[in-house]
Amino acid sequence: MVIHINSLPTDILSSFFDHFAPDDDPVSFRGADTLTLVCHRWRTLAISTPSLWSSIMIADTAASLRRARCYSDRAKDRPLSLYRITGEEVSGGQT
């Protein structure tokens, strides 16, 4: 029996998203943004899953600060973890 992932109830899919939240390496984590690109249902659900947005990487750019505000809003009342990243980390270089 094959079940399509989009046929799962919202609470089960949301639970899956919680396991996608950053733990080990928040600097390389881009999962939350990726989940919002799959389809409309996943975007809506990902945006409403605060655990996906509670780790925020901040660089010294205006775009990074806008993204941090967006993540903070989506994290709602969850505690935030803030990480400052350097230009090398942003561009993919090694530190």
| Mean pLDDT, residues 54-72 | 88
What pLDDT does residue 48 have?
92
| Mean pLDDT, residues 70-91 | 81
Q: At what angle do helices 40-47 and 10-19 cross, to 10 degrees?
A: 60
CA distance to 1, 2, 8, 53, 56, per residue, from 30 (Å): 32, 29, 24, 10, 11
pLDDT at 79 over 60: yes
Q: Among all chains, which residue has been given the structure tokens 């999962």? A: 31
Count of Cβ atoms closer than 10 Å to residue 82 Cβ? 13
| Mean pLDDT, residues 25-36 | 71
